[in-house]
Amino acid sequence: AQSVTQLDSHVSVSEGTPVLLRCNYSSSYSPSLFWYVQHPNKGLQLLLKYTSAATLVKGINGFEAEFKKSETSFHLTKPSAHMSDAAEYFCVVSVRFNQAGTALIFGKGTTLSVSS
């Protein structure tokens, strides 16, 4: 069965310092992986996706993630945090569902706090 584990429920950083949000996945086949961001009282926005092309994926707002098959990880990073990065982040794996559909399996989320 496919699943996603976000290793930290809450991460706190100072503005200008690096961000690391950790995600491990399990999948019986080569997965498609995504990171979504949700700002308070807002919908979900796609940050980046991995679909078996380059293992280092660049997304919006300076975020990137590296797919490491040997470690079954897809950690999200950003070199320098900005106050506007404060939000909840979801690591997501896309799976077949009931042989006909595609479903997104969400991690439980990591809340990123950024202090000045």
Partner 1 sequence: NAGVTQTPKFQVLKTGQSMTLQCAQDMNHEYMSWYRQDPGMGLRLIHYSVGAGITDQGEVPNGYNVSRSTTEDFPLRLLSAAPSQTSVYFCASSYSRGIFPNSYEQYFGPGTRLTVT
Q: Given the rule CB under 8 A, which residues bind partner 1? A: 9, 31-32, 34, 42-46, 49, 51-52, 90, 94-98, 100-104, 106-109
Are residues 112 and 87 in contact, defined by beta-carbon separation less than 8 angstroms? yes
Can you tell me the distance from the alpha carbon of 78 to that of 84, in angstroms, rounded to the nearest whole number?
13
> Based on CB atoms, which residue is closest to partner 1, 14 or 39?
39
Minimum distance, C-beta of residue 74 to partner 1, in the bound complex (Å): 14
- Residue 18 beta carbon to partner 1: minimum distance, rounded to whole angstroms: 25
Q: How far is the CB of 55 from partner 1 (least distance, A)?
A: 15
**Minimum CB distance to partner 1 smaller for 49 or for 62:** 49
Q: Whole-number minimum distance, CB 14 to partner 1, in Å?
A: 26
What DSSP string runs through the chain? --EEEES-SEEEEETTS-EEE-EEEE-SSPPEEEEEEE-TT--EEEEEEE-SS-SEEE-GGG-EEEEETTTTEEEEEESS--GGG-EEEEEEEEEEETTTEEEEEEP--EEEEEE-
Residue 50 or 81: the one with the smaller Cβ distance to partner 1 is: 50
Closer of 33 and 114 to partner 1 (Cβ):
33
